[in-house]
Structure 1
Amino acid sequence: MGDESPDGELASASLVDLAVARLSREILGGGSDPGERLIEEQLTRRFGISRAPLREALRLLAQQGLVEHVPRRGVRVATLSDRDVRELYEVRDVLERYAVHTAFSGARPDLSGVVTALEAMRAAAVRGDRLDVADAHRRFHCSVVALAGNGQLSATHGSVLLKIQLYMALNLRREADSHGGESGVHRHENVLAALKGGDPEQVIAALESHGAQTYIP
Structure 2
Amino acid sequence: MSDEELAAYSLVELAVDRLRRDILSGRNDPGERLVEEQLTRRLGISRAPLREAMRLLAQQGLIEHIPRRGARVATLSDDDVRELYEVRDVLERHAVGGIPAGPDLTGLRAALDVMRKATEAGDRPELANAHRRFHTEVVRLSGNRQLTDLYESVLVRIQLYMAVNMRREAEVARAEDGVHRHERLFAAVVAGDVQGILTALSDHGARAYLT
Same fold (TM over 0.5): yes
The verdict on how the C-alpha distance between 1:153 and 1:11 changes in structure 2, with shifts beyond 3 A counting, is: closer
Give 2:160's aligned residue.
166
Q: Distance in 2 between matches of 1:15 and 1:70?
A: 24
Partner of 1:59: 55
Greater Cα offset, 161-170 or 70-79: 161-170
Task: Report the Cα distance in structure 2 between the residues aligned to 1:162 and 1:193, rounded to whole angstroms.
Answer: 25
* SS at structure 1 position matched to 2:65: strand
Q: In the alignment, does 2:114 pair up with 1:120?
A: yes
CA distance in 1, matches of 2:86, 2:27: 27
Instruction: Name 2:32's counterpart in structure 1.
Output: 36
Question: For 1:46 and 1:154, how far apart are their aligned partners in 2?
Answer: 34
Matches within 5 A, 1:75-86: 75-86=71-82
Give the conservation status (yes or no) of the 8 Å contact 1:176–1:182: no
Deviations 1:64-87 (A, max 9, x none): 222111122110011111111111
Matches of 1:56 and 1:212 in 2, distance apart?
33
1:23 counterpart (19, 22, 27): 19
* TM-score normalised by the chain length of structure 2: 0.91
Change (3 A) 1:44 1:29: same
For 1:215, what is the secondary structure of its paired residue?
Answer: helix
In our comparison, the structure showing a higher alpha carbon Rg is 1
Number of the residue aligned with 2:186: 192
State how far apart, in whole Å, the 2-side matches of 1:151 and 1:18 are: 26
Q: TM-score by structure 1 length?
A: 0.88
Q: Tell me the SS of whatever aligns to 1:69.
A: strand
Answering whether residue 69 of structure 2 is matched by residue 73 of structure 1, we say yes
Q: How many residues were matched structurally?
A: 211
Cα deviation 1:17-58 (Å, max 9, x = unaligned): 222232223222322100000111222223232211110111
Q: Which 4+ stretches in 1 moved above 6 angstroms?
A: none
- Could you tell me which runs of 5 or more consecutive residues in structure 1 were left unpaired when the two chains were aligned: none
Q: Amino acid of the residue matched to residue 64 of structure 1?
A: Q
Could you report, residue by residue, the CA deviation over 1:122-179 in whole angstroms, capped at 9, with x for unpaired residues?
1111122211111111111111111111223222212222322322333332322221
Shift of the 213–171 alpha-carbon distance from structure 1 to 2, 3 Å rule, reads farther
Which residue of 1 is the match for residue 8 of structure 2?
12
Contact 1:29/1:129 (8 A) holds in 2: no
The answer on 1:215 being equivalent to 2:202 is no
Counterparts of 1:155 and 1:166 in 2: how far apart (Å)? 18
